[in-house]
Amino acid sequence: MSVLSSGIYSVIPWLVAVIAELAIAGWLVDRLIRRGFDPTKTRRAFLVFSLVGALGVAGTVTTHDIVAVMVYLSIGAAGLAVNAPTGQSIITLIAPRGSVASLGGIVNGAANLLGLAAPIVTGFVVEATGSFAGAFVIAGIVTAIGIISYVVVLGRIEQIPEPSRAVAPA
């Protein structure tokens, strides 16, 4: 594949991702909640199913057909694109009053550190194995941990109460 055609093909998954993000995370989640669906269950379902979709990138290791690769990458990118704003919205919903920016900064800082580590780990895996397959397996494992965390660890999505500020007697 030439550099030009690879650039054209690389647009497809991200175009699908943007459409999914707007239509699903940006519209459907809010619409369902406004219609009376339980906000925690709705968000959890979208978080879990979007990460299951993100696992679609694993299919790329099973084929050399460019159309199949585009389908797998598009499903994976759409899953991640739906997951990101849905997950980020939880910060604004649970943070104690006046601390949304602090909590958001901590979460985004941790995510950016992991995002920095991903290409480094991928480089080591590709260098050691000569293939991206191992990197996809690692990404799948991390994604599965995320799915389990959303199911098991994520509790009710509600605002954390402000810490009480005890005033010392004068």
pLDDT band at 166 (very low <50, low <70, confident <90, very high): low
Phi, psi (degrees; rounded to nearest 5) at 38: -60, 125
User: Which tens digit of pLDDT belongs to each residue from 46-70?
Assistant: 999 999 999 988 888 888 899 999 9
The larger pLDDT score, comparing residue 164 to residue 159, is at 159
pTM: 0.81
On whether the CB atoms of residues 133 and 61 are closer than 8 A, the answer is yes
Residues with Cβ within 8 Å of residue 113, at least 6 apart in sequence: none
Determine if residue 79 is left, alpha or beta; phi over 0 gives left, psi from -120 to 50 gives alpha, anything else beta: alpha
Of the candidate CATH numbers 3.40.50.300, 1.20.1250.20, 1.20.58.100, 3.40.50.880, the domain formed by 3-153 belongs to 1.20.1250.20
Q: Taking each helix axis as running N to C, give the angle between helix 39-54 and helix 66-94, from 0 to 180 degrees, rounded to the nearest 10.
A: 150
At 156 the three-state DSSP class reads coil
Q: What is residue 6's predicted lDDT score, i.e. its pLDDT?
A: 79
Q: What is residue 108's predicted lDDT score, i.e. its pLDDT?
A: 92
User: Which tens digit of pLDDT belongs to each residue from 139-152?
Assistant: 889 999 999 999 99
On whether the CB atoms of residues 54 and 73 are closer than 8 A, the answer is no
